[in-house]
Structure 1
Amino acid sequence: MSFPENKLTVRSSADLATAVPYLIGFHPSDGSIVVIACRDRRIVFAARGDLPTLGSPAHHLRDLTGHLVPVVQRQQPITDLVIVGYGAQEHIDPALRVVGDEFTATGLAVRELLRVTENRIFSLTCDDPVCCPPEGTPFDPTTSLVAVHATVAGLVARPDRAAVASRFTAVDSTRDGIRHATSEATARMAAVKTTGSSAVYEAGVHAVRGALRQHDDGTRLTDGEVAWLTVLMTHRPVRDLAVDLTQPHDQHVTFWAEVTRRADEPLVPAPATVLALTAWRCGDGVLAVMAAERALQVDPDYQLAVLLLQALHSGLPPSVFEQAASTHPNPSIPSPKTSTEQE
């Protein structure tokens, strides 16, 4: 079993348990379930969800599975699945069996059901005490070669979802400067608008290109530059230009995370959505979902973020965006309901 692009190989359940946080971007907490789709021993997709609490009505688990099944099915061709649950036996084992049965009923082969409890792995599908002892198999991710290889390959496993959010979440103590700069940028924008929308777009071209160039050169934007960029991105053609000029690599993910973190609250949706798109194109589904959710937290009707979140929750691949971008000058993401066609 290998990661995409042969970045990493896992040969045991201990290797897999160590690898999961690098697949989803953070260490899953108790109550998590991770469905790993494989194609000829290669991991092609991983989806995580929160299991209903112990004692919840049965339909809550069916609802979760009803969401996960079509998301995974879209990743065809798939040869088999591995499903991993995290937490105590009495909570996780019954849930794993239900979820496994639901996937099996759709024709998808479930190769393994695994439970991770603290630092031990338990198999629900293997009763050979030699490879899967009933007391579980101990593992230590801090000493695993898989963790070393994952780090070398550029994969990151943050402590939890909060650590992911901290990349683009504002710190209150830094807000006064950006608010003042945004007020000045808003007045500047009003003056530019008097000369027409083409002047706004030309200012946007200069601001977006200059900001990305500064970041690539290692120069941090000033509050004034962040404010001017984010004010200009309220003009949709400028935001779309930012999407077009942004490359799917980690440096630009970092750039848009910083702009989102520093932007004045009402101006967050545009940079957060560009961050979400960039993270999605880089294969970081967790960051993409959380950034899109951040955009919608500020503006629930921000259409590009709405469409993007639908695509992410439906398990569509970033190629959907790439195809749209190559066909249309101002791409939008097809609705999952009409797509012919991956968090």
Structure 2
Amino acid sequence: MTAVPYLLGFRPDEGSVVVIATRQRRVIFAARGDLPALDAPTADLLDLAANLVPVVERQQPITHLMIVGYGEPGHVDPALRILNEAFANRGITILDLLRVTGTRIFSLRCDDPACCPPQGTPFDPTASLVAVRATAAGLVALPDRAAVAARFAPVDGTVRDRMREATAAALTRLTTLQAAGNKEADEAGAQAVRDALRQHDGGKLLTDDEVAWLTVLLQRTAVRDRAVELTQPHDGHVTFWAEVTRRAEEPLVAAPAAVLAVTAWRCGDGALAGMAAERALQADPACRLAHLMLQALHAGVPPTVFDQAAPTDTTTE
């Protein structure tokens, strides 16, 4: 159980269920969902199963599945049993059903007190060998979903004031540029993306004016799509787009947040991807890229689909 937070990127809250799919003892997929309320009708649990089963089936071939619920037994155990039956009916082998209550793990499949005592097995999620190895490998387990959202939370204070002024100047500059034609504006946008990523890769922070110019150009669909193509699936570029999203003025947040969502998804960070896509839709409910990203996440579409369809020219030089 100490590995679950590193698979998700954060520690699951109570009322969570996590499904972990493996292929030949290697984890290939992990997803978290919210359990229905304690007093919810059984139909809500069946709906949860109906949503999770096809998502997992898309990850085939898998050899085993583990389902973990977080919370008290009265809330978690009925859900685990319904999920177990739903997956078993599809011919998927369930390795174990586990409940995490506090700092103890309980197995619903094992009644041998030698390995699964009735009082549960104590564990420390921060002091295990798994945690040490994951940290050494650069994996991070944030405390909760709020900590994930904090990565791209908007700046405030004097930083926000400076960005507001820089964005006003950038919008005036863009109006002048667009008067020369769409081609010139799109080319300027693509160049701004290349320059920004190159500066970030070189360890140089973007100025307020540079971020503002980038965010106004990203409002052009062609520029935003070019940004997706040029961005690479590594944590450095996730950090870059999170920072651009933080500094963008609210009306301009959707585009960088959507690019952040795609980048996080390609890195295997579904939690950040989903939250960034939701942030994009909060700023612009019509953001098509964010809608597509959420659909892909809900359907369990693997990020390899992007790499198979993306253009081969992704250089930022």
Asked if these proteins are the same fold (TM beyond 0.5), I'd say yes
Q: Which amino acid aligns with 1:79?
A: T
Partner residue in 1 for 2:65: 81
1:58 and 2:33 correspond = no
Counterpart mapping for 1:1-343 below 5 A: 17-173=1-157, 174-326=159-311
Separation in 2 of the partners of 1:102 and 1:206? 51
Separation in 2 of the partners of 1:319 and 1:35? 20
Q: SS at 1:323's partner residue?
A: helix
Which string of whole-angstrom CA distances, capped at 9 and with x for unpartnered residues, describes residues 111-167 of structure 1? 100001111100000111111111111111222010000111111100000000000
- Flag the 1:240–1:167 CA change in 2: closer, same or farther, 3 A: same
Task: After TM superposition, give the deviation of residue 327 of structure 1 in Å.
Answer: 8.6
Which string of whole-angstrom CA distances, capped at 9 and with x for unpartnered residues, describes residues 171-228 of structure 1? 3323221111111111100000111112112211321111111111211111111110
Q: Which amino acid aligns with 1:240?
A: D
Task: After TM superposition, give the deviation of residue 328 of structure 1 in Å.
Answer: 11
Q: Which amino acid aligns with 1:87?
A: G
Note if contact 2:229-2:311 (Cα within 8 Å) is conserved in structure 1. Answer: no
Task: After TM superposition, give the deviation of residue 273 of structure 1 in Å.
Answer: 1.0
Q: SS at 1:76's partner residue?
A: coil
Q: Which amino acid aligns with 2:54?
A: P
Q: Which amino acid aligns with 2:305?
A: V
Separation in 2 of the partners of 1:231 and 1:171? 17
Q: SS at 1:167's partner residue?
A: helix
Partner residue in 2 for 1:333: none
Separation in 2 of the partners of 1:210 and 1:328? 16
Partner residue in 2 for 1:332: none
Separation in 1 of the partners of 2:209 and 2:261? 23
Bigger Cα displacement from structure 2, 203-212 vs 255-264: 203-212
What TM-score results when the alignment is normalised by the length of structure 2?
A: 0.96
Bigger Cα displacement from structure 2, 250-259 vs 95-104: 95-104
Q: Which amino acid aligns with 1:304?
A: L
Separation in 2 of the partners of 1:133 and 1:125? 12
Q: Which amino acid aligns with 1:278?
A: T
Q: SS at 2:152's partner residue?
A: coil
Partner residue in 2 for 1:10: none
Q: Which amino acid aligns with 1:30?
A: E
Task: After TM superposition, give the deviation of residue 326 of structure 1 in Å.
Answer: 3.6
Q: Which amino acid aligns with 2:40?
A: S
Percent identity between the aligned chains?
66
Q: Which amino acid aligns with 1:19?
A: A
Q: SS at 1:219's partner residue?
A: coil
Unaligned 5+ residue runs, structure 1? 1-16, 330-343
Separation in 2 of the partners of 1:134 and 1:195? 74
What TM-score results when the alignment is normalised by the length of structure 1?
A: 0.89
Q: SS at 1:91's partner residue?
A: helix
Note if contact 2:19-2:31 (Cα within 8 Å) is conserved in structure 1. Answer: yes
Which string of whole-angstrom CA distances, capped at 9 and with x for unpartnered residues, describes residues 42-76 of structure 1? 11101100101111111111111111111001000
